[in-house]
Structure 1
């Protein structure tokens, strides 16, 4: 029979406490060690603990870390959670002194500090992956800056562009996504330690010192907010969702472009699987994996934001252990998607023959013919549009390329304007060539060589700035790790 007065109830133990224990073991144990060490250093430096007591606690923490086989630990229910397990070990070694480490702190401020420490390196890892993708896109855009493609609107062939121009558009979005993620990280860099349960403490602690030793930029100021505010969660996962929404659209293009009927994108054999029954099939299934990984990641980010909805503005489990662990899965699936896309896009090439055939069949350069009639023949754009449309209908009906439609053009021009065109056959042929179309789109942001080169140079500058900002944060945290090691070692020598 279950003793209903004895904690923990076996069902609560198995459904909540044991999974939480495993989550801390897998994700937070090392950060818990760092918090213990930093807090102890601060208690000693502020005089709250004397040198002798601090040295004993430091030695005991070192022994516990060295003697505990964490991987072998299983949750027994003897201690409520990982925190009480460590405190119990301290008290076994030091008696009542083992409880002194918890002076001026709470599991509340410790928990949110742990979560921020875990999210910091995960967020930096995802930012690094986004920056790597941006770099690959920029490099590939440079390589493919002169490679013609058919640009589609509403699923139909629209105009010529270049693969480099298309990839540059993606690079812009990825860089903006990286900037949004980069802007979400500073909220993770404000330390909750010192808030204690929710109102700070009557002891003369130094919140700044603990924040420094743990690699935070500063303490999070309001102690109530340290425990109740979850905007570091909602802000991070909101920013993190967007790349996967945006890149899912790119993946859809890759599926469309690589379809047999379109054939614009050539996927190399290393990224193609065969059919088990149909020998002719080439299945670029990494595209499908990227699509579902992007969707799953965006969904996991939504779960994190939605879980915070309508929760009380106070300490709550809705923002803690199990929820945080659920969020970590978004980094796993998202990281795989970004890694695959970073390898996939540079490996692909454009099928020039199919592009040319599709251009010819769909008259995608016809807009330049209309523009030329406005510039060189003095027509209004609506007149020019009508002449171009008549020409396009004629060549499509005849099944001939637009370049062979000079006679149809002359007929349509005379019918619309009542006069003969001044464009010669050579002028017409040059005007409707894809190379001409691209070269004349030389406004800022267009696909013409100089415009595209200037844009790519700007993207490279933005990428460098993001790398620099990240490097400064990581350098600060690495320096803090070193400072904490030195300060903690000094305690044991005192």
Structure 2
């Protein structure tokens, strides 16, 4: 039998690779290694520019050559690092040696001992992860999330005036509009995206146990906390002044919890759309050539929303695990975070795939307004709320002496349906003011939507 080795184990790297490939630029092993090279190179340039350890500045060409190791990082670089790690069995040490090997060609052979000087591996790793997660979120995940939320907002505006029979506890309830209900999701999702935009990406650069011990011994003249702050902030990150060997990963837990929350809201949207489709509120637009069922030719299944649900659940399982695991480190350091963080890309990948499915799902549905109106017309009892509230107002104003309006309407409507004629007859017999009575007689389920059309425009 033929072997199938070297095949993608994760569907994100196989079946769904096209939908999530943008994340590979940052959250792959290659992306992480490029970021490590970037941090090592910038540290070498920074310390020489600031005369640390008695150094002198590099020339412009030498700095450009070092930075080209990052900008020109390609498959040859990946292969070179892989060969080094196969021998060294240490990823960050391999990056250090990789840079050292390129120094002679840049006229920097005499600066070899400055590569990785006073650094622990976590100094490089924590900054690298902060950079790649920040860039992956800002450049890939956030734009896709923004686009999907904008898509939902457009539907909210389009359907802002379309009456919808609400279903609280799955039962007919006070009508709303489809647009207003979608606007609720828009508002919730945008709030979480606002938190993502405000997220700080922390970094530390303070040595083996966060004490600057080696730094102080090697160069007692420097103000090392200030040096650390300047270097970290120069990378576009927020400086963490107090850590053990590792950066505490609290910012990661905050970010992943926020994205998990966003995913949960999007999951709610997907299940609602699935339900609306099953109720006939939305028609699915058939796509030529697609098959809904292997045996039932008529089927058009809501697979985009189902796929989104599954991927959001997988993403959230990983994000929750990341948030819980990363904030704990035994004593001054253990290595559980190393393996855990390698799954950040998988967590964001499933979320990104879900976003892609939701976007495609929303593009292939259209509202069945006649079905919504028909449903409303079969549920006149939902006007009971309006009638009993008007009666209460009339009693409060001294224009009626009806006792216990709620119980009165409960007896009329609870547990069974009534029609327009039943309700009109009931209203005609009420002892209330004529203006209020005419207002109630003019009311229909599809017009009993309050301020829903205006609320659908809320941004």
| Superposition TM-score tier, normalisation by shorter sequence | 0.7 to 0.9
Equivalent position to 2:148, from 97, 109, 133: 133
Q: Is the 8 A contact 1:228 1:313 kept in 2?
A: no
- What does residue 89 of structure 2 align with? 80
Q: Is the 8 A contact 1:296 1:333 kept in 2?
A: yes
TM-score (norm 1): 0.72
TM-score (norm 2): 0.77
- What does residue 24 of structure 2 align with? none
- What does residue 8 of structure 2 align with? none
Q: Is the 8 A contact 2:400 2:433 kept in 1?
A: no
Q: Is the 8 A contact 1:366 1:388 kept in 2?
A: yes
Q: Is the 8 A contact 2:424 2:441 kept in 1?
A: no
Q: Is the 8 A contact 1:374 1:384 kept in 2?
A: yes
- 1:167 CA displacement: 0.8
| Alignment map for 1:399-414 (pairs within 5 Å) | 402-406=419-423, 408-409=425-426
Q: Secondary structure at the match of 1:41?
A: helix
Alpha-carbon distance change, 60 to 172 in structure 1, aligned in 2, over 3 angstroms? closer
The superposition leaves residues 356-405 of structure 1 with CA deviations (integer Å, 9 ceiling, x where unpaired) of 22222233333223333334575589743344344446982xxx7x3232
Q: Secondary structure at the match of 1:294?
A: helix
- What does residue 14 of structure 1 align with? none
Alpha-carbon distance change, 169 to 279 in structure 1, aligned in 2, over 3 angstroms? same
Equivalent position to 1:170, from 179, 185, 189: 185
Q: How far apart in 2 are the matches of 1:319 and 1:394?
A: 56
- 1:63 CA displacement: 6.8
Q: How far apart in 2 are the matches of 1:63 and 1:139?
A: 44
Q: How far apart in 2 are the matches of 1:25 and 1:177?
A: 28
Q: Is the 8 A contact 2:33 2:95 kept in 1?
A: no
Q: How far apart in 2 are the matches of 1:302 and 1:31?
A: 25
Q: Report whether the alignment pairs 1:265 with 2:269.
A: no
Alpha-carbon distance change, 211 to 338 in structure 1, aligned in 2, over 3 angstroms? same
Equivalent position to 1:221, from 241, 253, 258: 241
Q: How far apart in 2 are the matches of 1:351 and 1:327?
A: 40
Alpha-carbon distance change, 194 to 57 in structure 1, aligned in 2, over 3 angstroms? farther
- What does residue 41 of structure 1 align with? 45
Equivalent position to 1:352, from 369, 374, 388: 369
- 1:299 CA displacement: 0.7
- What does residue 117 of structure 1 align with? 131
Q: Is the 8 A contact 1:258 1:266 kept in 2?
A: yes
RMSD of aligned alpha carbons: 3.5
- 1:291 CA displacement: 0.9
The superposition leaves residues 78-113 of structure 1 with CA deviations (integer Å, 9 ceiling, x where unpaired) of 123343234334555656742222223221211111
Unmatched 5+ stretches in structure 1: 1-22, 460-494
Alpha-carbon distance change, 89 to 277 in structure 1, aligned in 2, over 3 angstroms? closer
Q: Report whether the alignment pairs 1:374 with 2:392.
A: yes
Q: Secondary structure at the match of 1:159?
A: strand
Deviates more, 1:93-102 or 1:37-46: 93-102
The superposition leaves residues 212-254 of structure 1 with CA deviations (integer Å, 9 ceiling, x where unpaired) of 44222x43222x3572512122112111111112221222211
Alpha-carbon distance change, 404 to 346 in structure 1, aligned in 2, over 3 angstroms? farther
Q: How far apart in 1 are the matches of 2:325 and 2:164?
A: 44
Q: Report whether the alignment pairs 1:100 with 2:114.
A: yes
Alpha-carbon distance change, 359 to 389 in structure 1, aligned in 2, over 3 angstroms? farther
Q: Secondary structure at the match of 2:174?
A: strand
- 1:42 CA displacement: 1.3
Q: Is the 8 A contact 2:164 2:176 kept in 1?
A: yes
- 1:348 CA displacement: 3.1
Q: Report whether the alignment pairs 1:332 with 2:356.
A: no
Alpha-carbon distance change, 266 to 87 in structure 1, aligned in 2, over 3 angstroms? same
Unmatched 5+ stretches in structure 2: 1-26
Q: Is the 8 A contact 1:406 1:428 kept in 2?
A: no
Q: Report whether the alignment pairs 1:430 with 2:450.
A: no
Q: Is the 8 A contact 1:150 1:159 kept in 2?
A: yes
Q: Is the 8 A contact 2:195 2:258 kept in 1?
A: yes
Q: Secondary structure at the match of 2:30?
A: helix
Q: Is the 8 A contact 2:38 2:67 kept in 1?
A: no
Q: Is the 8 A contact 2:326 2:340 kept in 1?
A: no
Q: How far apart in 1 are the matches of 2:402 and 2:79?
A: 77
- What does residue 288 of structure 1 align with? 306
Q: How far apart in 2 are the matches of 1:345 and 1:384?
A: 43
Q: Is the 8 A contact 1:145 1:163 kept in 2?
A: yes
Q: Is the 8 A contact 2:37 2:95 kept in 1?
A: no
